[in-house]
Amino acid sequence: MITLKEALKLPKEEIEAFRTDLKQKIEATKSLGAYVEQLTCKTISEYGSGIPIAIKDNIQVNGWEVTSGSNILQGYVAPYNATVIDNMVRHGLSPFGRTNMDEFAMGSSTESSFYGKTLNPHNPKCVPGGSSGGSAAAVAGGIAIAALGSDTGGSIRQPAAFCGCVGLKPTYGKVSRYGLGAYSSSLDQIGPITQNVEDAAILYDIIAGHEPKDSTSANMAHQSVADKLNANRKMTIAVIENYLNEASPEVRERMMDGIRALEKAGHKIIYRNFINSKYDIATYYVIATAEASANLSRYDGVRYGNRGSNENLKEMFIQSRSLGFGEEVKRRILLGTFVLSSGYYDAYYIKAQKARHFIKAQYESIFKEADLIFMPVTPTSAFEFGSKADPLEMYLSDIYTISLNLTGLPGISVPLGMDSKGLPVGGQLIGQAYGEQALLDGALSLERELGL
């Protein structure tokens, strides 16, 4: 597949021919299920005539049906563009196809989508990760130049690692959330999934910037990073030793390959530890579900999508939400409503916010000694469909990614190689707030030294 950097140099006629070829390729690979259109046997959604970029099904594109992978939003047509879409169009890029996702971005495997599951391009028995599994599978499967995803607890980095792509979660607020279907407002962040680090930097530059309509958007001028990439920049990189030791043997081996590559590139490696990651999980699921309970209250059958037909208003609410939401979404709404309820708010939600501050302080302490942090993305490579029937077991697959969303820091998943089953393994570099330049410089250095 042509890279984004190469595609930006194509004349208009060649872009048009490429779009036609790509449409045929998507049609020929329906079994992958990366796009909603592949799963529903519909024509690929298009907007404009620029370089085609796949878009996650929770990002608004004017005139498209945008459903967040849910039954409750069937029939909803977006009346406006998300800020990232307008930014793309201004730079000659065009939305091209809705990628499959876990319902309302709640999941780690893309199994909870209303449309059905997406397969991992490296092994159809395995999950592509989630919730942006469709975006990662499309890029890894050679049916997208690049894609946009959203990351609430690792939903860009984890599928990128499972599929062997590069996935960038920017600093919270650097890329506007205006037009993103809300799951957890203080954690959600749009970012690129690409074939390489340079493409991630290019697409990040295109979509980043302040949005006056978004109160969480960082009010600062965007400094481009792609034109200043420097793989020869030497940095101090802290490896989180206890996370490394807790990972599976094969993930640990590939992480050691990455550490040796960084040392060979001239970076100084130091080893540090975090507190037990179980506190990250507990904090994340209290805050995320509390915010989801509030955000998803708007889906009541009155204004959006499907409506349950009943004789009175109360029954209509109950029927619309009971039939419209999937099991995982209902589970998280119930948990979120519980932690916000009278008598439990202080015991859970306030305590979780205090723990969030403590987690952020841990990162700040390590960044006094290091420029970047390096740790696994996931404890294992991609798991098989149905192997994590217990929701709690599924939640643990995000154990190394969620702390970045709690702190708002930027992170990038970079492929480190394959395990013995032929499945990709990724490592993540983490930067300081608004430190995307150093983060991408370090990622480019790692990518080039590994030569993958």
| Dist. CA 245–CA 413, nearest whole Å | 19
Alpha helices by DSSP H, listed for 96-248, are 133-140, 157-163, 197-207, 241-246
CB of 317 within 8 A of CB of 252?
no
| Dist. CA 412–CA 441, nearest whole Å | 11
Q: Which residues are catalytic?
A: 56, 131, 155
Alpha helices by DSSP H, listed for 91-132, are none
Which residue type occupies 131? S
Alpha helices by DSSP H, listed for 367-450, are 391-395, 402-407, 436-450
DSSP string of 248-281? -HHHHHHHHHHHHHHHHTT-EEEEE--S-THHHH
Pairing of strands 93-99, 51-56: parallel
Residues 262, 151, 216, 365, CA torsion sign: negative
Which three-class secondary structure state does DSSP give residue 18? helix
